Structure 1
Amino acid sequence: MCLNEKYLPVYQFSEKHSLHIMAPHADILTAVLNFRPQEDWLFRYATAVRELPIRLLDVIQGRSAKSRPSFGMENFTLLEKNGVLELVFGLAGKFWQADYGQTTISTASDFLAFNKSGTAKLVLSFTVEKLNETHTRLTTETRIFCLDKEAKRSFTPYWYLIRPISGLIRLRILKAISHSVRNEMPSTPIN
């Protein structure tokens, strides 16, 4: 059973992207864990636009706009890693709210047990499939489950608003991971 099925077998929204990478499969999940999307200009820009309302509210209410850390991989909880083949992160909250309405999830069991009404759960997975000795398929999938009708009603317009940029960011993440793995591979002499 894949980890997505373990942590979020039922979901209403999903997005999946894959990329073939010329690199051994054993190196790829390490690159995923080391990747920071904040290094990508599109991710930084999209996050800044997404967070503009809450930052303006902070300024209006006399709080420093810089006191709130930007959204990033630090917001996710690593739920489980399956060797060099798969890993899954989790997130829970009211993602459509200006401040993301995030609930702190510390462990995999916290994520599985989470069931607060009016909220949603999200898993972000990365799966590695060895194609041959030199090529690997890296797949990322995002699944979202709204815990009730209220959450689904709130999340649906947000999903359709962010999905195009989210998909583009996921593709850029896959390409950046591919680039980092290829750059770290030792060069082999050409005979």
Structure 2
Amino acid sequence: MPDESESALERMLPEWHFREVHRIRVPGTAAEVMRAAHATTWAEAPMARALVAITGADISARRRIVSDFLREMGEVIPTGDDEFLLAAVQGTGDVPRPPGTVSEIVTGCEEPGILKIGMNVRHAGGMLTTETRVLATDERTRRRFAPYWFCIRFGSGLTRTSMLRAIRARVLREMSPA
């Protein structure tokens, strides 16, 4: 039986080479907060919207951050009411993506040239957290990915922080009496 304090991301990708964590205190039950997380739109997180738009991603103000955009990035793995888990894999250079589902590849593939990516949004203990983990299957892939991670990390952090603040604002609006 899994440890309830351990996230599904920790169970799926316990080791990583690159990691980013952002958190914010958000009142409410896990169900209330995660419902708000799935309903929050890019219009509610203008900083995140602007930063993601720079990448050329197809976003509109009405599209939901978690439910729409993140689903396009990989495979959504059901985890329960308190967490949204996304898994993705990427082959580098001439290495094609191995066969199998994304979650099978993330948990079992060791072929060189693959990046295993896990990301979650989770509400536990009053904290809303988003964490990303990236594991390269070999040292060459890790070294090649490191400069990219260095370049995107600051903008990614701003995007995540803006996203978390927008979710918290939605929760607070929904909790306040009409």
TM-score by length of 1: 0.69
Contact 1:77/1:105, CA 8 A, preserved across alignment = no
SS in structure 2 opposite 1:72?
helix
For 2:128, the equivalent position in structure 1 comes to 138
Gaps of 5+ in 1: 52-67, 131-135
Residue number among 122, 127, 133 corresponding to 1:127 in the alignment: 122
User: Greater CA radius of gyration, 1 or 2?
Assistant: 1
1:76 is aligned to 2:74: yes
CA spacing shift, 1:159–1:104, aligned 2, 3 Å:
farther
For 1:112, the equivalent position in structure 2 comes to 107
Q: Which amino acid aligns with 1:154?
A: R
For 1:57, the equivalent position in structure 2 comes to none
Give the distance between the partners of 1:42 and 1:102, measured in 2 at CA.
33
Contact 2:16/2:135, CA 8 A, preserved across alignment = yes
Paired-residue identity, %:
24
CA RMSD of aligned residues (A): 3.2
For 2:9, the equivalent position in structure 1 comes to 4
SS in structure 2 opposite 1:126?
strand
Residue number among 163, 174, 184 corresponding to 2:164 in the alignment: 174
What is the correspondence of 1:30-45 to structure 2 with a 5 Å cutoff? 30-37=35-42, 40-45=45-50
1:139-158 residue CA offsets vs partner (Å, 9 max, x unmatched)? 11111101112211211000
Number of aligned residues: 162
Q: Which amino acid aligns with 2:128?
A: L
CA spacing shift, 1:94–1:177, aligned 2, 3 Å:
farther
CA spacing shift, 1:105–1:34, aligned 2, 3 Å:
farther
For 1:14, the equivalent position in structure 2 comes to 19
CA spacing shift, 1:166–1:114, aligned 2, 3 Å:
same
Q: How much has 1:36 moved relative to structure 2?
A: 4.6
Q: How much has 1:23 moved relative to structure 2?
A: 2.7
Gaps of 5+ in 2: 60-67
Give the distance between the partners of 1:116 and 1:69, measured in 2 at CA.
32
TM-score by length of 2: 0.74
SS in structure 1 opposite 2:130?
strand
Give the distance between the partners of 2:100 and 2:42, measured in 1 at CA.
21
Residue number among 85, 88, 103 corresponding to 1:88 in the alignment: 85
